[in-house]
Amino acid sequence: MYESKHSISLLFNANNVYDRQILEGIGHYLHTTKVDWDVFLEEDFRFHGDDVSEWRCDGLIANYDDLEIKKIVDNISEPVIGVGCSYSDLEQYPNIPYVASDNFALVESAFKHLKEKGLKRFAMYSVPLDEHHRWVIERERAFAKLASKEEYSYQIYKGHATNRKTWHSTFKQLSDWIENLPKPIGIIAVNDARARHLLQACDHLGVEVPERVSIIGIDNDDLARNLSRISLSSVTQGCFEMGYKAAKLLHKRLEGKKVPESQVLVGPVGVEARQSTEFKALSDPYVIQAVHFIRQFATKGIKVDQVTDFVGISRSNLENRFQQEHGYSVHTAIHNEKLVRACKLLAESEMSINDIAEKCGYPSLQYMYSVFNKHFNSTPSAYRSENQKGKESKVASF
C-alpha cells in the first residue's frame, strides 16, 4: 500500500551531467520506497522562471547553484530541499535542509591522483568568477590549500568565458599558458568542459599528454570525454547519492518529521583513471615522443618503423633508449598498449569480442585469442567473465 500522493516540483536545468545524475538519484528513491509522488519536471528538463503564485505543489527539490531558481524558491512557503555545492564559509549555506557536493573532497581526489603518479608540479584551469559560478572559487581555494600544505609549486589560470566569437582568441591564450608551464606538470580542470579545452590545446601544440602534461577533470561527463582523442581521467561526483538523500529528506518533511536546517556533504564516488593521467616519469625526449605516438596509434596496426619515422632517429637508437627508460622494446610497448585497450573493453563494455579484436588492431580474432592464452592462460571471453568493471584487472601490472 502506497502512502498518500504528494505533488512535487523538481527545479533543475538538466543540460549537464551534474543535474541529470541528481535527478537519477531522486528517481531511484521513488522506485525503491513506497512514496507516491506526482512529480513535475519541465519537458526539456530546464527551469523557465514561471510565476510562483501559479504553482500547485506540496514540496520542492531545487538546484541552489542556479541563482534564478534560488531567488524564486526563497520566496515560497512549501517545504524545500536544496542541492548544490559546498562552501568553506558556513554562512553561505541557505537556511533550509541542503545536500551539497563536497568541493574540497572533489579537488583532493584529483590532486591525490596526480600526486600518486609522481608529479611534483601542479596547476588548475578554472573559469572567470561570476555570481553563477560560486562553486569555482571553492575549488580554487581547495586546490591552493592542498598544494600549499605540501609545499608544491602551483598556478591557477582562470582563462576566459568561451563563445563562438571569442573562441579563437581564448584558445590562443590558453595555448600560450600551457606552452609556458614548467613540465612535466599535472593540471586539474574545474570541470570536464575545461579539461577538454586543455586536451585540444595540447594536441594543437604537440605537447604530449600525459607524458608532459597530465590532465584530470571533474564530472566524468561521457560527452566531454568522447569528444577528445585522448580519453580523460575525471572525478565522479556523488550526484546520484545527492539526489537520493534530497528525496529522502523531502519525504521526511512531508511526513511531518523534523528535518534540521543543516548541510549534508556528499563526497566523490572516485576517480575514473584514463589515458590523460597515465604518467610515468620519463626523461628521454625521444622516448616521450614515441610513447605518445604509440598511445594514439597502437590500435591502428602501426609497426616499429612507423614509430622511428615519427621520432626521427634510427631504430637501433630508439630501441636502446627504450631499453634504458622502460626495460623493454618498442615492439613490446605497441603490443602492451593494444592488450591494455582490449582488456579494458572486455571488462567495461558490451562490445563483441570480434569487434574488440578489430578495434584494438589485431589482425584476426584467432591472433587475439593466442595473445590472451600466452599472457593470461585464458580466453578473451573468460577474461571478460572474471574482470567485470569494479574488479581489479590483471593488466594493471603492465
pLDDT exceeds 90 at position 57: no
Judgement on whether residues 122 and 199 belong to the same structural domain of the protein: yes
Judgement on whether residues 257 and 298 belong to the same structural domain of the protein: no
Q: 146: which 3 cell numbers?
A: 592542498
pLDDT tens digits, residue range 95-154? 999 999 999 999 999 999 999 998 999 999 999 987 778 899 999 999 999 999 999 989
Q: Using a CB cutoff of 8 Å and minimum separation of 24, what contacts does 371-377 make?
A: 371/335, 371/339, 375/339
Look at residue 397 and tell me if it is in a domain: no
Look at residue 217 and tell me if it is in a domain: yes
Cα distances (Å, whole numbers) of residue 285 to 184, 291, 312 = 12, 10, 12
Q: What is the domain range of residue 151?
A: 103-236+273-277
Nearest to 240 by CA among 196, 270, 273, 274: 270
CATH number where 317 lies:
1.10.10.60
Look at residue 396 and tell me if it is in a domain: no
pLDDT tens digits, residue range 371-396? 999 988 889 999 998 886 544 444 44
Judgement on whether residues 180 and 109 belong to the same structural domain of the protein: yes
What backbone phi and psi angles, to 5 degrees, belong to 234? Answer: -155, 155
Judgement on whether residues 108 and 232 belong to the same structural domain of the protein: yes
Q: From the CA atom positions of the chain, what is the Rg in Å?
A: 24
Judgement on whether residues 132 and 202 belong to the same structural domain of the protein: yes
pLDDT exceeds 90 at position 75: no
Judgement on whether residues 132 and 226 belong to the same structural domain of the protein: yes
Angle between helices 285-297 and 330-348 (to 10 degrees): 40
**Sheet hosting strand 59-63, strand order edge to edge:** 37-40, 6-11, 59-63, 80-85, 98-101, 263-266
pLDDT exceeds 90 at position 22: yes
Round to whole Å and give the CA distance between 266 and 269: 9
Q: How many domains does the chain have?
A: 3
Look at residue 90 and tell me if it is in a domain: yes
Judgement on whether residues 135 and 194 belong to the same structural domain of the protein: yes
Look at residue 112 and tell me if it is in a domain: yes
- Helices and strands: H and E segment counts in the chain: 15, 12
Judgement on whether residues 181 and 260 belong to the same structural domain of the protein: no
Judgement on whether residues 203 and 218 belong to the same structural domain of the protein: yes
Judgement on whether residues 259 and 320 belong to the same structural domain of the protein: no
Look at residue 142 and tell me if it is in a domain: yes
CATH number where 25 lies:
3.40.50.2300
Judgement on whether residues 111 and 93 belong to the same structural domain of the protein: no
**Percentage of the chain with pLDDT > 90?**
60
Judgement on whether residues 58 and 142 belong to the same structural domain of the protein: no
Give residue 222's pLDDT. 80
Look at residue 221 and tell me if it is in a domain: yes
**CA 349, 353, 358, 360 torsion-angle sign:** positive
Determine the 3-state secondary structure of 99 from DSSP: strand
Residue 359 burial (C-beta neighbours within 10 Å; 0-12, 13-18, 19+): middle
Round to whole Å and give the CA distance between 297 and 300: 5
Look at residue 151 and tell me if it is in a domain: yes
